[in-house]
């Protein structure tokens, strides 16, 4: 699409020229803020200025604070490739950012407002994002991705259940919303990471004289992995933590393990921008298997939740943000010097957190502090490395 004179002038504020720019920076910054505050509360006893149970607040903000911003940054950018639609930019993008920020501010000062107002402020972002995504997909005839818009809309239901649990101080409602949110995010990972990871891998093999056919994607397995993962949603709504819901999760883990095995991830070990995507999907498989085994082996739910959150979600967020930030700013697809440490840090954080949740290591406070340090460094270094990239014009001079 040809850039107009007005858009060119807007491009002077490059951070509003494309959705991934602002939302990726906000994702990284908020990931640092929330974990620093949480670890300081747990290990040093520093107070968090809240009027709600801190555990509820932490669980909510990790899922419904960090993740939606990352989803918005990627999805609003990817849609322009899928549909040919112009990107959301300028005032429209700024308005969406303000909605997200309003939710975050409200969740940090809930004692100063009636809680229904806090919940309403936080609940606005996701349905507005879902409506915009659906409208663009509909206008440009991209029905293939309607499911994604539906998942975004249903995340609002999960968020509302979490707020209901907070408002009534009932862990059952909050836990139901948390399960639903994690299941929906798993579906998004299966759709999006399951689409880009094998495609990028096959292209990378082709460019280096390899055989892209080594990346196998049997259609029946693609559908089986998605169907089994989506089946966790009704299973968890009816019987969260039950053995039959665990059996569904095990089936999803097996289907996604077979899917991942066909993508030839071992051939990408020389390319960090690729192996990090395979690793993030491997964490998803592990999380689903642990979830499935939990009711049978009486494992702590914290084990699979942190394998999913600190492992799969955080790893894929950083993997996708680093890749998109380079490719969509006209730069070569090569990590900045030393930036691979971001991947090692988030991996160390995930391994330690899951090991702690599984009782494999002791010294709870010390390990939590290390997890917080590694997490904070991973997202903080993303912010430091990519702030100049995301706030400057494209390297190739093109709009966006």
pLDDT at position 10 over 50: no
Helix (H/G/I), strand (E/B), else coil: 13: coil
Q: How would residue 49 be classed by pLDDT, with cut points 50, 70 and 90?
A: low
Q: How would residue 11 be classed by pLDDT, with cut points 50, 70 and 90?
A: very low
Instruction: Show me where the domains of the chain are located.
Output: 14-391
Global confidence as pTM: 0.94
Q: How would residue 150 be classed by pLDDT, with cut points 50, 70 and 90?
A: very high
84-129 pLDDT, tens digit per residue, is: 999 999 999 999 999 999 999 999 887 788 999 999 999 999 999 9
Alpha helices in the chain (DSSP H): 5-10, 19-39, 54-61, 67-83, 90-108, 115-123, 125-139, 146-168, 171-207, 219-238, 243-261, 272-297, 301-306, 314-327, 341-357, 364-391
- Tell me which CATH homologous superfamily contains domain 14-391: Cytochrome c oxidase-like, subunit I domain (1.20.210.10)
Q: Decide if 169 contacts 53 (C-beta within 8 A).
A: yes
In the prediction, which pLDDT does 3 show? 37
pLDDT at position 50 over 60: yes
Torsion of CA 67, 245, 52, 300, to 10 degrees: -100
Question: With the C-alpha atoms ordered 366, 372, 378, 382, is the resulting torsion angle positive or negative?
Answer: negative
């Amino acid at each position: 699409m040809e850039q107009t004179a007005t858009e060119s002038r807007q491009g002077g504020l490059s951070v509003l020229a494309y959705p991934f720019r602002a939302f990726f920076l906000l994702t990284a910054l908020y990931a640092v803020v929330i974990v620093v505050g949480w670890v300081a509360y747990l290990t040093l006893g520093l107070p968090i200025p809240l009027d709600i149970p801190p555990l509820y607040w932490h669980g909510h903000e990790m899922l419904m604070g960090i993740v939606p911003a990352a989803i918005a940054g990627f999805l609003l950018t990817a849609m322009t490739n899928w549909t040919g639609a112009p990107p959301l930019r300028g005032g429209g993008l700024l308005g969406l950012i303000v909605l997200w920020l309003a939710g975050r501010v409200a969740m940090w000062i809930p004692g100063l407002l009636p809680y229904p107002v806090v919940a309403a402020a936080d609940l606005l972002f996701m349905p507005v994002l879902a409506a915009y995504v659906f409208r663009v997909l509909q206008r440009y005839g991209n029905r293939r991705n309607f499911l994604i818009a539906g998942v975004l809309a249903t995340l609002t239901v999960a968020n509302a259940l979490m707020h209901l649990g907070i408002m009534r101080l009932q862990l059952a409602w909050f836990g139901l919303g948390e399960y639903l949110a994690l299941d929906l995010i798993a579906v998004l990972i299966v759709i999006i990471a399951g689409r880009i990871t094998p495609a990028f891998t096959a292209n990378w093999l082709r460019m280096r004289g390899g055989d892209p056919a080594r990346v196998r994607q049997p259609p029946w397995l693609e559908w089986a992995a998605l169907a089994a993962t989506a089946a966790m949603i009704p299973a968890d709504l009816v019987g969260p933590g039950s053995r039959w819901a665990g059996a569904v999760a095990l089936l999803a883990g097996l289907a996604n393990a077979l899917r991942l095995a066909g993508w030839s991830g071992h051939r990408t070990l020389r390319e960090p921008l690729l192996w990090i995507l395979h690793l993030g999907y491997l964490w998803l498989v592990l999380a689903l298997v642990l979830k499935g085994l939990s009711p049978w082996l009486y494992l702590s739910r914290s084990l699979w939740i942190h394998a999913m959150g600190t492992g799969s979600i955080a790893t894929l967020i950083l993997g996708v943000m680093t890749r998109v930030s380079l490719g969509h700013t006209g730069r070569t697809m090569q990590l900045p010097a030393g930036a691979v440490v971001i991947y090692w840090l988030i991996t160390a954080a995930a391994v330690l957190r899951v090991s702690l949740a599984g009782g494999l290591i002791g010294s709870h406070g010390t390990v939590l502090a290390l997890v917080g340090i590694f997490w904070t460094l991973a997202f903080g270094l993303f912010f430091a490395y990519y702030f100049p990239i995301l706030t400057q014009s494209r390297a190739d001079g093109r709009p966006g």
